[in-house]
Amino acid sequence: MSELRPYGRELLEAARRERTPTDAERARMLKALLAAAEHARLAVETRPASRLNAASKVLVLVALAALIAFGVYMAGHVGVPRR
């Protein structure tokens, strides 16, 4: 690979300077990141509890399983011609 001309080196250096954030920008981004993390932590700590207790969840699960089984049974027997 050949060496860059002075204009090419200047162009690369200018691109690096534009791409690299300043110290003030880094501090602002870090402050925003820490604020977002604190907000997320507070949101997790203050979220409402589940409305159903464990027994209610089991009852709903059993009811759904029974409904699915009934649906499968009906799908297999309804509309079948009898001999």
The pLDDT assigned to 10 comes to 92
Q: Report d(CA 68, CA 35) in Å as an integer.
A: 47
Q: Report the chain's mean pLDDT, rounded to a whole number.
A: 87
pTM, to two decimals: 0.42
Domain residue limits, the chain: 6-77
| pLDDT tens, residue by residue, 39-79 | 988 887 776 666 778 899 999 999 999 999 999 998 887 76
| DSSP tag of 36 | H
What is the Cα gyration radius of the chain? 32
The pLDDT assigned to 80 comes to 63
CB contact burial 47-72 (16+ within 10 A = b; e otherwise):
eeeeeeeeeeeeeeeeeeeeeeeeee
| Proportion of the chain above pLDDT 70, given as a percent | 88
Contact present, 65 and 73 (Cβ < 8 Å): no
